[in-house]
Every structure is written in C-alpha cells, then in structure tokens.
Amino acid sequence: MSQEPKEIRLTIDGQEVTAREGTSVLDAAMANDIYIPHQCHHPDLKPVGACRLCGVEIDGRMVTSCTTVVQEGLDVKTNSQKIHQARKTAMELLIADHHMDCLACAAANDCALLKDSAYLGIEPEQLQRLRPSNKGLPIDTSNPFFQFDPNKCIICGICVRTCDEIVGRGTLAFIDRGFDTVIGTFGNKSFIESTCESCGECVVRCPVGALAPKRPKFAAREVQTTCVYCGVGCGIYLGVSGDKVVDVRGDRERPTNEGSLCVKGRYGFNFINHSDRLTKPLIKQNGEFVEAEWEEALELVASKFAETKGDEFAALASAKCTNEENYLIQKFTRAVMATNTVDHCARL
C-alpha cells in the first residue's frame, strides 16, 4: 500500500506555502503563483539545473530551485538583488548568443527566452556591451516535418532528455565541448539520416525556435478528439482553421498518451483534406469503380459474405480500429465465417 505523500510547509518570499514531499522548490513556487524564470526545466523531465536561471537563495546560498526539493521550514528567497543579478547575467549571455530572428521565428508567440528576458527587464543598452556570437551554423532541414536551427538553440538539453526519457530513442546528444557545444544526433548526422523517428516530442518541448515545425500553425480553434491511426487511442486536439485541420497536438490530460504522440498522429493529418481521399464507398461495375451509397455497399458486402464459407474467406484487420473492433472482427471471422484465417496489418 502506498502511503499518502506528506505535505511540507515552507516559506517562499515570505509567503507560507505547502507542497507535497518530493516536489521541487520551483514547482512549489509556480503552483503558488510565484514565478521563477527557467529555461532548461520541463515538468515531464528530470531536472538538471543547467540554465541557472531558476537560482534562488536559501540560507544565503544560491541553489537551483529545479533541483532542490522542498523541506519543512525552508525559507526561500526568489528575488534578492544577488539572485536578480546572476539571472540577468545568464540571460544577457543567452541573448548575446542567440540568433534573434524573432519576426520570422516559429516560436515567437511562445518563446521562453523572450518571456524570461521580459520578466527580467533586460535592456538593449546592456546587451550592447557584450560581443554577439554570430555563429552562422547551417540549419538542418532534412526532416520533412521539422527543422533544427543551432543558432537559436540555447542548449537546454530538453530535447536530449525528451528523446531519452520519454521516447526512449536516445537519438540526440550534446556534441563537442565549450562554446562549440551543439545538440546533434549520433555521429552528428542530419536528422533524416539518424535514428530519429520524427515523433516531434522534442520539437514540442523546445522552449525556443531551434527545433520548430516547418509548417507554422494558424489554428483558429481546437477540437478535442482521438487519433484515428491505431488502437492506442491517443488523445489529441485538432487545430482547425476554417474547414481544415492545420495542426495536431497531444492531449496532456488523456491517460493513454499524456500528451505524447507518434509521427503519424502528430504530422500525418494531410490525408484529411487530400483530394485522393475516398469519402464514399466505391463499387466496381464493368471493371470501373463507381461511387455508391453506404447502404448499397454494405448490402453488397453482406450478400457476398453469405455466399462464402470456411477457408474461402480471410479477414485482415486494421490498426486504425480500436481493440474492441479488432476483437469483433476475429470473433466474426471464426464464429460466423468459420475460418481461422484472420490477420492484422500491424504484423505485416
């Protein structure tokens, strides 16, 4: 039997808050509407304390709040002068290193760097003292769905940890050292040549526009639904603009996938509005397919089934059906059609 997690009481900026045992100081603060800037923290991933922006003061010492777990009676200061100065330095360094191409950037309306630099009040004059990096590294556009621009990468490692911890693929890694450190695939190949399966999990977590979808999304509204591709039934939100689906995102509340998706669910929605898509049943007449109504088509199928028995018949089920539907297909094949010749596309 698992024990109820203990509630811990602590003080953040003079405010008494409670948090569950094991919670980080960062999460505890954010849950109580005390904002702490951060770039490398992501709620789905283990904390690493790399960006140093979430530093807070405890007993006069600066610690990273993402890696510090709440303790009874902790007295945390999130915004002392010392902390503010350290954050400003880190933020100015990040911006001086970043390709500030905000107008053309896919992440512009949801960029952690812009958000935190506004929060910290970074001033352009201050930035002018620094030497900008101007790396001019090539952009990897090899993947059909997303691109990687190392000039915008802040090396937070979120993508690396996502691919390791969530996807289990381990495609991404830190490459080289020092200022030359970049994110790359094994052997620093392009994405398309790597072991990447294009799930896009890293792309959705990238806090800036370094890993970004190639087709920017302009959804007017969202529709909650279930992915049609397979029996897992991942929860998704379709981004809709007019009568078209323009975007898909995973539903973080759905227990089946907790926001994760595979390449098909995330990027494979073109078929919806594709001109080749069949929207009505077709019946072959005199060697040619002719559009028909559902009633007519189903009756034709039923009559053909009635003429067939035993091993003359075979059923091939689809991964796009639910498990329950697939169960019914095999039951129907064995009990009604009297054959064991039943298979499924997922094992072909």
Give the span between the Cα atoms of 124 and 38, in whole angstroms: 21
CB nearer ligand SF4, residue 21 or residue 44: 44
What, of ligand SF4, other proteins, none, does residue 8 touch, CB below 5 to 8 Å by kind? none
Compute the distance between CA of residue 210 and CA of residue 252 in angstroms, rounded to an integer. 23
Please give the sequence-ordered ranges of beta strands (E in DSSP) within the chain, or none if there are none.
Answer: 7-12, 15-20, 55-58, 61-64, 75-77, 146-148, 172-175, 182-185, 211-213, 221-226, 235-241, 244-250, 282-285, 288-291, 315-317, 342-344
Residues 107-136 that bind other proteins (CB under 8 A): 129-131, 133
Taking the C-alpha atoms of residue 195 and residue 335, their distance in angstroms, rounded to an integer, is 43
Largest CA distance in the chain: 86
- Binding site partner of 130, from other proteins, ligand SF4, none, Cβ cut-off 5-8 A by kind: other proteins
- Closest distance between ligand SF4 and the C-beta of residue 158, in Å? 4
- Total chain residues near other proteins (CB under 8 A): 36
By beta-carbon proximity to other proteins, the closer residue of 166 and 261 is 166
55 contact, one of other proteins, ligand SF4, none, CB 5-8 Å limit per kind:
other proteins
- Considering beta carbons, is residue 189 or 344 the nearer one to other proteins? 189
β-pair type (55-58, 75-77): antiparallel
Find which of ligand SF4, other proteins, none residue 235 binds, CB within 5 to 8 Å per kind: none
Strands 7-12 and 75-77: what pairing? parallel
Binding mask 40-79 for other proteins (x = CB under 8 A): -------xxxxxxx-x------x-x--x------------
The nearest distance, CB 157 to ligand SF4, in angstroms, is: 5
Could you tell me which stretch among 30-38, 150-158, 218-226, 270-278 binds other proteins (CB under 8 A)? 150-158
The binder of 97, among other proteins, ligand SF4, none, by C-beta within 5 to 8 A per type, is: other proteins
H-helix segments, 182-262: 201-205
Distance of alpha carbon 182 from alpha carbon 322, whole angstroms: 42
What Cα–Cα distance (Å) separates residue 64 from each residue in 24, 70, 86?
10, 12, 12
Contact characters 87-106, other proteins, x per CB under 8 A: --xx--xx-xx---------
Binds 51: which of ligand SF4, other proteins, none (CB < 5-8 Å by kind): other proteins
Residue 321 CB, nearest distance to ligand SF4 (Å)? 26
One-letter identity of residue 145: F
Sheet with 15-20: strands ordered across: 15-20, 7-12, 75-77, 55-58, 61-64
Site for other proteins, residues 158 to 177, rule: CB under 8 A:
173-174, 176-177
CB 253 within 8 A of CB 235: yes
* Spatial distance between the Cα atoms of 38 and 65, rounded to a whole number of angstroms: 9
Among 168, 178, 242, 287, binds other proteins (CB under 8 A): 178
Where does this chain bind other proteins (CB under 8 A)?
39, 47-53, 55, 62, 64, 67, 82, 85-86, 89-90, 93-94, 96-97, 129-131, 133, 154-155, 157, 173-174, 176-181
